[in-house]
Structure 1
Amino acid sequence: MSLLEIERLTAGYGEAVVLEEMSLSVSEGECLAVLGRNGVGKSTLMLAIMAHAARFAGRLRWDGHDFSTLSTNQRVGLGLGWVPQEREIFPSLTVEENLLVAHRRGGRFDLNGIYEVFPRLKQRRRNMGDKLSGGEQQMLAIGRTLMTSPRLLLLDEPFEGLAPVIVEELEETLMRLRRDSGFAIIIVEQRAEDVLRLSDRAIVLDRGKIVLEGKSAELLADFEQVHRWLSV
Structure 2
Amino acid sequence: MRVLQIISVLLLLLTSTLKLSIIDIPLDDNIIHYFFNASIILTGFSVMFPIVSYFRIKKLKIERDGHLTLILNEMVSEQNTEVFISRQLNNVVTLFKNKQQIIICGKPILELLDNSQVKFLLAHEYFHIKKNHLIKNILSFTFAISGVPILLLIISPFLISRISILWVLIIAFIVYISCFIFHFIFSQRREFAADKYASFIVDSEVAKNTLSILKKHALVPEKSYNIFETHPSLNKRIEKVASK
**For this structure pair, what is the TM-score category when the shorter chain's length is used for normalisation?**
under 0.3
Decide which structure has the larger Cα Rg and report it: 2
Which protein has the bigger helix share? 2
TM-score by length of 1: 0.26
